[in-house]
Structure 1
Amino acid sequence: MKKLLILISILISLQVQAQRTSAPEGPGSLTFWENLSKHCGKSFEGEMLNASENDQFYGKKLVMHVRTCEDGKITVPFHVGDDHSRTWVLTMEEGNLIKLKHDHRHEDGTEDRVTQYGGLSSNTGMAKVQFFPADQETTDLIPYAATNVWWITLDDTSFTYNLRRINNNSPIIVKFDLTKEVETPPTPWGWED
C-alpha cells in the first residue's frame, strides 16, 4: 500500500511539473475538455496496467470511443470485449468543473441497478489531469464507494482512466493509446445513433 501511494504521488508530481512547463492560460478543465474533444468520433484500444487473472477485464479487448461531443457533454463508451454496457459521461458544470458519471445499461437498453455513479471535480484541475471524488449520489447508491476517487489523465499520446478505492491495494488503471485509431465498436447498449 505504501509503495502504491508513493507511486501515485510521483505520478501526480510529474503531471504537475509537466503542467507548469507548458501551462496554458485559463482553467485547466477547459484545456482538458478541448483536448478530449479533438478525439471526437475516434476509437482507441487500451490495456489494464495492473490486471490479474481474476479481474473482469482480464484477457478482453478494451476499446474507448469518444462518441459524442455536444455543447457541455462528452460521451465515451468503454467496450470490454462483447460487453457494450459502459459509457463514461462527462459534463461541464458551472464554474468550469467537470462531472464524471458512469452510465451502465443492460443489453436491452434498460439501466442497470448500479448506474450514474461518479463525482464532480473538486476544482478546475489541470489540463492533463482531472480528479473526481465520489459524490453524494454515489454514496447513497453504493455506500462502500463513498471514498472512491476517479481520475483521468490526457496527453498527446494517451488517455488513462483510473480508480482508487481507499483501503484497497488494487487501483484500476486502463491506459489507451491515442496514437493508433481502431475500428469503432457497435453502438453502446441503450444509446441511439
Structure 2
Amino acid sequence: MTLRQAIIIIAIFIASPIISQETIPSESFWNTLKSHCGKAYEGSLVLPEEDESFGGKKLVMHVKSCSQNEIKIPFYVGDDKSRTWVLKKNQDIISLKHDHRHEDGTEDDVNFYGGTASNAGKEDIQFFPADVETQKMIPGAATNVWWITVNDSTFSYNLRRLGTDRVFKVVMDLTKPIAEPTAPWGWVD
C-alpha cells in the first residue's frame, strides 16, 4: 500500500461518520418550523388575488404548540379562528391535516383532511398530496396538493388542485413576530 492509498483510506474512514450524520431534509424542515414555536406572524394572500373569503382580511399564523412529533399552527382569517394546520412527523415523513372548528369549538363536518409527504422532501419545502381519507371526504379534492415552504424570512402555505384553476397561497413574514393572538376556536391546552 502506498502512502497516497493509506491517506485516501484514512480520509474515507474519518469522513464516514460525518456523511452518516447528515440531517434528513424533513428533519431540517421540522426543526426550522419548530424554532418558531410560540411566535405569531402576519402575512398576506398572494393567490388568488381576488378571493372573497381571504382577500382584504388580516391573516395571522401562530406556531402555538410543538412537540417531538406534532406542530399545531392556528391560522386566523380576520375574526375567524376556525382553522389549525396540524403537522405530524412519523420517522422521516411529515403529514399535514386541517382541523376546522365552529365558534363553539365543535368540529366542522369537513375536518382533518390533508395528505402525507411521499418522501423526506427538502429542508425548505414539503409536499402533501391528498390522501385516501381526504378523497373520500371531499371527492373534488382528490387531486389536491398542499405544500409548505419555510426559510429565514418567510413561511408559505400553498394549495393547487391539479387539473383545475384552483390555487391558493398565503405568505407569512417571519422577520416580524407579532403579539400572540387569543386561542383558536375549540383549542384545548
Give the shorter-chain TM-score range: 0.7 to 0.9
Q: Give the number of aligned pairs.
A: 169
SS in structure 2 at match of 1:49: strand
| Cα contact 2:155–2:174 (8 A) shared by 1 | yes
Instruction: Describe the shift of the 1:126–1:179 C-alpha distance in structure 2 as closer, same or farther (beyond 3 A).
Output: same
- Choose the corresponding residue for 1:179, options 170, 175, 179: 175
With normalisation by structure 1, the TM-score equals 0.85
Counterpart residue type for residue 79 of structure 1:
Y
Per-residue deviation, residues 138-186 of structure 1 (Å, max 9, x unmatched): 0010000000000000100000000001122241010000000111111
Instruction: Describe the shift of the 1:91–1:54 C-alpha distance in structure 2 as closer, same or farther (beyond 3 A).
Output: closer
Structure 2, gaps ≥5 residues long: 1-20
Per-residue deviation, residues 53-92 of structure 1 (Å, max 9, x unmatched): 4431011000000001112000000000000000000000
SS in structure 1 at match of 2:97: strand
- Following superposition of structure 1 onto structure 2, how do residues 63-82 of structure 1 map, counting pairs within 5 Å? 63-82=60-79
Based on CA coordinates, which of the two structures has the bigger radius of gyration? 2
Match for residue 58 of structure 1? 55
Per-residue deviation, residues 100-152 of structure 1 (Å, max 9, x unmatched): 00000000000000110000001000000000000011001000000000000
Match for residue 159 of structure 2? 163
- Following superposition of structure 1 onto structure 2, how do residues 62-141 of structure 1 map, counting pairs within 5 Å? 62-94=59-91, 96-141=92-137
With normalisation by structure 2, the TM-score equals 0.86
| Cα contact 2:58–2:78 (8 A) shared by 1 | yes
| Cα contact 1:51–1:57 (8 A) shared by 2 | no
- Alignment of 1:150 with 2:146, yes or no, is yes
Match for residue 42 of structure 1? 39
| Cα contact 2:61–2:76 (8 A) shared by 1 | yes
